[in-house]
Amino acid sequence: MKYNQFKAMVITIASLPLGFSITYGAEQTSPNGKIRVHADVINGVPTYSIDFKGQEIIKPSTLGFELADGPDMMNGFKLMDVKTSSFDETWQPVWGENSNIRNHYNELHLCMDQPEHYRKMDLRFRIYNDGVGFRYEFPNNGVMTYFIIKEEKTQFAMTGDHKAWWIAGDYDTQEYDYTESRLSEIRDLMASSIYPNASQEQFSPTGVQTSLQLKTDDGVYLNLHEAALVDYSCMHLNLDDTSMVFTSWLTPDAQGNKGHHQTPCKSPWRTIMITDNACDILASNLILNLNEPCKYEDTSWIKPIKYVGVWWEMIGGGKPWDYTSDLPSVRLDSPDYSNAKPHGNHPANNENVKKYIDFAAEHGFDQVLVEGWNVGWEDWFGHSKDFVFDFVTPYPDFDIEMLNDYAHSKGVRLMMHHETSGSVRNYERHMAKAYDLMDKYGYNAVKSGYVGNMIPRGEHHYGQWLVNHYLYAVTEAAKHHIMVNAHEAVRPTGLCRTYPNLVGNESARGTEYEAFAGNKPSHTTVLPFTRLQGGPMDYTPGIFEMDMSKVDPNNNGHVNSTLARQLALYVTMYSPIQMAADVPEVYNKYMDAFQFIKDVPVDWDESKYLAAEPGKYIVAARREKGGKDWYVGCTSGEDGYEASLSLDFLEPGKNYMATIYEDAKDAHYLTNPQAYSISTKKVNSKTKLNMKAAPGGGYAISIKQL
Amino acid sequence: MKYNQFKAMVITIASLPLGFSITYGAEQTSPNGKIRVHADVINGVPTYSIDFKGQEIIKPSTLGFELADGPDMMNGFKLMDVKTSSFDETWQPVWGENSNIRNHYNELHLCMDQPEHYRKMDLRFRIYNDGVGFRYEFPNNGVMTYFIIKEEKTQFAMTGDHKAWWIAGDYDTQEYDYTESRLSEIRDLMASSIYPNASQEQFSPTGVQTSLQLKTDDGVYLNLHEAALVDYSCMHLNLDDTSMVFTSWLTPDAQGNKGHHQTPCKSPWRTIMITDNACDILASNLILNLNEPCKYEDTSWIKPIKYVGVWWEMIGGGKPWDYTSDLPSVRLDSPDYSNAKPHGNHPANNENVKKYIDFAAEHGFDQVLVEGWNVGWEDWFGHSKDFVFDFVTPYPDFDIEMLNDYAHSKGVRLMMHHETSGSVRNYERHMAKAYDLMDKYGYNAVKSGYVGNMIPRGEHHYGQWLVNHYLYAVTEAAKHHIMVNAHEAVRPTGLCRTYPNLVGNESARGTEYEAFAGNKPSHTTVLPFTRLQGGPMDYTPGIFEMDMSKVDPNNNGHVNSTLARQLALYVTMYSPIQMAADVPEVYNKYMDAFQFIKDVPVDWDESKYLAAEPGKYIVAARREKGGKDWYVGCTSGEDGYEASLSLDFLEPGKNYMATIYEDAKDAHYLTNPQAYSISTKKVNSKTKLNMKAAPGGGYAISIKQL
């Protein structure tokens, strides 16, 4: 890294024309000059504000901490030094939307003393062309060596009653549908935004989660999130809906504290994306850039994955993960299934898994996920059961050696599944042996899960204890060259740059809810603005049968999407790990549409967002890694989306063959979701296509260079 | 195991002569008929009482549980079945006071239903000649599969205002001096019984710990404790000092609950020793017998240990565990001592450790403990520091390879030290590597420590979480053939029978307090009645310099013992791991007395308690394992102890040479502690010796067959 440190420019504005007086200690702009951060200590209180194109976009907002073990760090500060610098480099991710990412920012670094308590605190701002990241830094000055956060009090003062796409602040789940409303409407809409979950705890009628997407009446898109959440409690935002000021609200531990810290240390970055084009939010690399470079020397073992799995027939089909109904309570210290009569409805059995392996091999998938392969599922949930799984003992009808051998003989791997049931002491105790087992049988990826309340009891999914655990699981996996796709873990914050074997997370309402209560048709037009800012989501798209009663007569659910849109999601929801989530029997009925899933890559050289509006539509185009072919996806909300699609991203002068998978004229996510048409067309960079997505629909296009 | 199950004898006594009516569902006696347990369900409430030699010794006492997640299990019970059986076997411990232990009891097993809630609960009593053990058992009936204990409500109803030797009930420390008082005096004496500790939390002005030693005015000795504490919260006793009824009081978890359980399961045994001879309490094997047989097939690697260590110069001598004063906050993820100036006063350095190795080799010790060998001690305490030690990185001045090689070349091993600072997630994460390091360098024993408040925060030293952890550390160590001596862990409950690599615990106020504030002169006359009931204590005796200011000019402490008594403790305080705790320089001044420590074995074929009264004196004699020599020890309290000592335990017709280490005439623990005399005398089984222990004094005798 090359830093150009140059002398601080301290500007003091004694009096502003508008009649009020603010003294700004320092300021810094984005490289293109459009974003300007002002930061100072005003009457002892650290304060910042942000302008965008000369207009205030974040009003003066105070910064600080309430401590549980000493005087607060809210005031009494003195600005001691201001440093500025610039940085510009281009780096290459192991996998991603683009093979080159530019990290270009100007930095503003404030050094503060709190003389009464002999403490020091720094603020570091990095200003990008598409937003700002800032964090607190706590040097070790020999006096403040340890501290306990009672609350972080970072304000984000809005300039108005913006529109927001939000989910309820919750210490234990992120699996809510997004609500679109004005900030002032959050309070009234809060109760209706909450859907039951296996573990959940809200904290405020105006508390929301990040990444929070906002839009001002002037058409400025704001996005609030955090980057590089490491050994720190995950941040929510609590809105004062009179002043429209958000204040950070951390996740508490079992004792109600919000973080134990040791200097020298730093907070995660608090991020504010600011653009006047929605596509720029989607294209932003701000959060990845604020994370540390990759910590692994060898990353050759990290590979994007397209997979199928023994999963949807449980989630949507009502089949169980367990093996028997004879064991109401399984003691994992002496699991004895020898006398347990199988109920005969256990999908993770040799025959069924072989069927998926055959299907994966035939259609070019890398892996087959198998859930319910290991003993303990009979009583895994809702009992605060400590020793709930051992992660190494297969059910009697799952021959782990035979199945892996069979898969490998066909060029396919099995994907491991580790459901922890939230019991993380148990998981950590068994982790080494669990990873050893994976090594032994040739697994190189694990889908892990954290369903239900946590053990240690009283801890929350998004508290410091668990944040620490999730990363521990990833770094321990790396020692075994294992990739991790963690469900129900804390929402990602760009750590996949630093630890690229974290290939996926769920951390939001995924496709599984289509089998339960449905997702809003607009859901996939919001997720890329919010959840995906921090990293890829294992959304598990590819559902072709929308009428759940055809999967399970007892399931009256409906998948709120057209079939064509399910294809588009492989492009619009970027992830290096993509599932084709439906069952082989369904795919076999729609092999022409399934071809797109077979074709679409899971790693890219180049990505372009062509059109986007949260809640309405997203159109993305991506060029495959190391190739010349492009793939386009469009997902739309309740209103559908019709527009001309310019293919000007194609290489000029070259010809391509486009295969277009689109909603049929009369398609509709509710009434006619499986109506699609497939056509082919020669195209080039001058081609414009008139494309139409049905309500809750979309389209997918593969464009192969001729 | 051979069980003779025979038909239950149900006795109904409709009316007792004294005018009150009790229906006893069942009864059972000890093999010798002197102890009789009555048990029944009375008006739906499980109840028991105990007679001793025809006199009531435990009044009718109720049994049950308050649950946190359902209706209580306090009443509404129905007695469904009563089973009785007998058991008699003799087993051989891996190490112990005796090479053969008889396990002889009659059993009474009550099966109860709680029909309203479709639940079942059993009570199993085992009646020995020296006491009673009983436990709750929870079958899995398919209805109650999981439950959360709010409180266990086991009563021990005393028959009077007995004398008691007690320490304050506390969730986090056992390191209190014993108070001798009537039960009715506990409340008034509670505050003065409490001494500051690194972690402590009392719960009641009449709450006390087990093992609790009691004595009735009729001269009956009672002892209340528990056996086989496994994955269950440790029990305290709370006294109703009006009715003189003790009720169990479990240690809470971070949420205030007192145990998460899964059926089938059982409580630890609640134990009541009942004798009219104090020596029988000391000689009792009731608690060992109530534990499961050894779970290890191969125990050849488990060996008793006599050791010295780099320890007393820190504890008593004021030297630090840490290496430098330059690092107020050590980050263990990047520990950097390269620029840290050593303060030059770090005892765990190569030169000093070699001195101890030389001393150990010269005098026949097995091992040398070294504390402060590993990085992290600069800020290890009081910060709730998560990643506090890595257990593998030596300080720059501790050459782990060289020192182990040097020790092994002299026939000595180093003993590992793992201080966890109460951070047990961190310990569990590093445990495998820590044990691997021990394997690599030839360590086979670890002294572990749990000083300070626990992490997970909110958990207590004696709660279920930690009880589970301590045993996990032991069983994981066994996989590496490592012996464990855990300090600040929960008081032992006989688990060393099942897991004999648990060679020691502290779990009480040890010799270290002699360097801080002193122990009562009577302390070592009480510990064998209380703390030692559950298993051996690493009391670290052998202090020869009682004036602590001679060890450290800043230490005005005084060791409340004569030197002769320090020798006796190797006999009176049974342990397979015994330290000679003082520093070589001191021992070199008293080599004649030190000879006893060199001679005394740490494993025995046979043990006899010759005289005992809690708070007054204990005289014990033991025959060495596989040999014919005997060793006698006497420890006395404030009043000293003078009595004739009959050597009738010697083999008749054989001659022996006794070497007698005793207090000099004018010895006194306070004013003249180092006055001792050594004499030799030919003795045989008819010899009677007039022996006198000074106040706070004692004597030690080695008796070698000629």
In this complex, do B329 and A458 lie within 8 Å of one another by their Cβ atoms? no
> Looking at the predicted structure, is the pLDDT value of residue A19 above 90?
no
Please give the Cα distance from B311 to A101 (Å, whole number): 56
Q: Residues of A numbered 360-419 whose beta carbons fall under 8 angstroms of chain B's beta carbons: which are they?
A: 379, 383-386
Among chain B residues, CA nearest to A141: B328
| Burial status of residue B652 (CB atoms within 10 A of its CB: 0-12, 13-18, 19 or more) | exposed
**B465 neighbourhood in chain A, CB within 8 Å:** 456
Please give the Cα distance from B263 to B265 (Å, whole number): 5
CA dihedral A87→A88→A90→A91, nearest 10 degrees, is 0
Q: The sheet that has A45-52: what strands, in order across it? A: A26-29, A35-42, A45-52, A55-62, A155-157, A245-250, A235-240, A207-209
Tell me how close the Cα of A326 comes to any Cα of chain B, in angstroms.
9
Q: Please answer whether residues A167 and A208 qualify as being in contact, where contact means their C-beta atoms are separated by less than 8 angstroms.
A: yes
**CA distances to A616, B586, B632, B685 from B689, in Å:** 101, 30, 12, 11
| Burial status of residue A702 (CB atoms within 10 A of its CB: 0-12, 13-18, 19 or more) | buried
Mean residue pLDDT of chain B comes to: 95
- Give the model confidence (pLDDT) of A211-223 as tens digits: 999 999 999 999 9
Q: Please answer whether residues B110 and B126 qualify as being in contact, where contact means their C-beta atoms are separated by less than 8 angstroms.
A: no
> Looking at the predicted structure, is the pLDDT value of residue B567 above 60?
yes
Among chain B residues, CA nearest to A140: B329
What number of other Cβ atoms are within 10 A of residue B324's Cβ? 20
pLDDT value at position B24?
Answer: 57
- Give the model confidence (pLDDT) of B118-145 as tens digits: 999 999 999 999 999 999 999 998 889 9
Q: Which amino acid appears at position A689 of this protein?
A: L
B512 is catalytic: yes
pLDDT value at position A24?
Answer: 57
Please give the Cα distance from B463 to B469 (Å, whole number): 10
Answer whether A137 touches B (CB < 8 Å): no
Per-residue pLDDT, averaged over A491-497, amounts to 98
Instruction: Give the sign of the dihedral formed by CA B498, CA B499, CA B501, CA B506.
Output: negative
Q: Please answer whether residues B180 and B165 qualify as being in contact, where contact means their C-beta atoms are separated by less than 8 angstroms.
A: yes
φ/ψ of residue B180, rounded to 5: -100, 120
Q: Please answer whether residues A524 and A564 qualify as being in contact, where contact means their C-beta atoms are separated by less than 8 angstroms.
A: no
- Scanning the structure block, which residue is given the tokens 């709680």? B114
- Give the model confidence (pLDDT) of A504-533 as tens digits: 999 999 999 999 889 999 999 999 999 999
Q: Which of A457, A394, A401, A392 is nearest to A429 (CA)?
A: A392
Q: Tally C-beta pairs within 8 A across A and B.
A: 84
Q: Please answer whether residues B612 and B618 qualify as being in contact, where contact means their C-beta atoms are separated by less than 8 angstroms.
A: yes
**B427 neighbourhood in chain A, CB within 8 Å:** none
Among chain A residues, CA nearest to B328: A142
**A383 neighbourhood in chain B, CB within 8 Å:** 145-146, 262
In this complex, do B425 and A428 lie within 8 Å of one another by their Cβ atoms? yes
Alpha carbon A648 to its chain centroid, in Å, reads: 30
φ/ψ of residue A108, rounded to 5: -135, 125
Tell me how close the Cα of B113 comes to any Cα of chain A, in angstroms.
19
In this complex, do A146 and B385 lie within 8 Å of one another by their Cβ atoms? yes
Among chain B residues, CA nearest to A456: B456
Alpha carbon B13 to its chain centroid, in Å, reads: 41
- Scanning the structure block, which residue is given the tokens 């859907």? A195
Q: Residues 6 or more apart from B648 whose CB is under 8 A from it?
A: B685, B686
Q: Please answer whether residues B159 and B76 qualify as being in contact, where contact means their C-beta atoms are separated by less than 8 angstroms.
A: no
Please give the Cα distance from A28 to A405 (Å, whole number): 59
DSSP H or E stretch at residue A193: helix A186-193
DSSP H helical ranges for A410-520: 424-441, 464-479, 512-516
Answer whether B257 touches A (CB < 8 Å): yes
φ/ψ of residue A430, rounded to 5: -100, 0
Q: Please answer whether residues A205 and A173 qualify as being in contact, where contact means their C-beta atoms are separated by less than 8 angstroms.
A: no
Please give the Cα distance from B548 to B554 (Å, whole number): 9
Q: Which of B253, B328, B383 sits opposite A457 (nearest CB)?
A: B253
Per-residue pLDDT, averaged over B88-105, amounts to 98
Among chain B residues, CA nearest to A231: B386
**CA distances to A329, B45, B117, B142, B254 from B72, in Å:** 21, 11, 10, 18, 21
Positions of A annotated as catalytic residues are 512
- Give the model confidence (pLDDT) of A652-665 as tens digits: 999 999 999 999 99
**A254 neighbourhood in chain B, CB within 8 Å:** 254-255, 456-458
DSSP H or E stretch at residue B526: helix B523-526
Instruction: Return the SS3 of A445.
Output: strand
Q: Which of B140, B379, B465 sits opposite A145 (nearest CB)?
A: B379
pLDDT value at position A4?
Answer: 33
Q: Which of B263, B329, B458 sits opposite A262 (nearest CB)?
A: B329
Q: Please answer whether residues B19 and B34 qualify as being in contact, where contact means their C-beta atoms are separated by less than 8 angstroms.
A: no
Q: Please answer whether residues B534 and B494 qualify as being in contact, where contact means their C-beta atoms are separated by less than 8 angstroms.
A: yes
Instruction: Return the SS3 of A351.
Output: helix
Question: What tokens were used for B612?
Answer: 């005992």
DSSP H or E stretch at residue A156: strand A155-157
Question: What tokens were used for B351?
Answer: 């030169």
In this complex, do A456 and B254 lie within 8 Å of one another by their Cβ atoms? yes
In this complex, do A458 and B254 lie within 8 Å of one another by their Cβ atoms? yes
pLDDT value at position B11?
Answer: 36
Cβ burial A461-478 (10 Å sphere, 16+ → b, else e): bbbbbbbbbbbbbbebbb
In this complex, do B262 and A329 lie within 8 Å of one another by their Cβ atoms? yes
**B383 neighbourhood in chain A, CB within 8 Å:** 145-146, 262
Q: Please answer whether residues A57 and A274 qualify as being in contact, where contact means their C-beta atoms are separated by less than 8 angstroms.
A: yes
Q: What angle do CA B420, B423, B425 make, to 5 degrees?
A: 115
**B436 neighbourhood in chain A, CB within 8 Å:** none
Q: Please answer whether residues B125 and B134 qualify as being in contact, where contact means their C-beta atoms are separated by less than 8 angstroms.
A: yes
Question: What tokens were used for A552?
Answer: 């399970």
Question: What tokens were used for A442?
Answer: 């040739």
Q: Please answer whether residues A107 and A137 qualify as being in contact, where contact means their C-beta atoms are separated by less than 8 angstroms.
A: no
Q: Which of B680, B693, B676, B621 is nearest to B650 (CA)?
A: B621
- Long-range CB pairs of B359-363 (<8 Å, 24+ gap) are B359/B308, B359/B584, B359/B587, B360/B307, B360/B308, B360/B407, B360/B410, B360/B412, B361/B410, B361/B411, B361/B412, B363/B587, B363/B594, B363/B598
DSSP class of residue B335 equals -
In this complex, do A432 and B432 lie within 8 Å of one another by their Cβ atoms? yes
Mean residue pLDDT of chain A comes to: 95
Please give the Cα distance from A236 to A226 (Å, whole number): 10
**B429 neighbourhood in chain A, CB within 8 Å:** 428, 472
pLDDT value at position B98?
Answer: 98
Cβ burial B18-50 (10 Å sphere, 16+ → b, else e): eeeebbbbbbbebeeebbbbbbbbbebebbbbb
Please give the Cα distance from B187 to A9 (Å, whole number): 69
pLDDT value at position B697?
Answer: 98
**B432 neighbourhood in chain A, CB within 8 Å:** 432
Q: Residues 6 or more apart from B351 whose CB is under 8 A from it?
A: none
- Give the model confidence (pLDDT) of B41-96 as tens digits: 999 999 999 999 999 999 999 999 999 999 999 999 999 999 999 999 999 999 99
Answer whether B479 touches A (CB < 8 Å): no
Question: What tokens were used for B211?
Answer: 């093992």
Q: Which of B264, B425, B458 sits opposite A255 (nearest CB)?
A: B458
**CA distances to A367, A564, B46, B229, B701 from B67, in Å:** 46, 54, 16, 20, 54
Answer whether B233 touches A (CB < 8 Å): no
In this complex, do B428 and A432 lie within 8 Å of one another by their Cβ atoms? no
**A253 neighbourhood in chain B, CB within 8 Å:** 457-458
> Looking at the predicted structure, is the pLDDT value of residue B2 above 70?
no
Region of residue A96 (left: phi > 0; alpha: psi -120 to 50; beta: else): left
Please give the Cα distance from A136 to A154 (Å, whole number): 10
Answer whether A266 touches B (CB < 8 Å): no
Q: Please answer whether residues A674 and A563 qualify as being in contact, where contact means their C-beta atoms are separated by less than 8 angstroms.
A: yes
Answer whether B145 touches A (CB < 8 Å): yes
Answer whether A255 touches B (CB < 8 Å): yes
Q: Which of B425, B429, B457 sits opposite A254 (nearest CB)?
A: B457
In this complex, do A145 and B457 lie within 8 Å of one another by their Cβ atoms? no
In this complex, do B329 and A146 lie within 8 Å of one another by their Cβ atoms? yes
Q: What is the DSSP string of B641-652?
A: EEEEEE-TTSPT
- Scanning the structure block, which residue is given the tokens 């490998």? A408
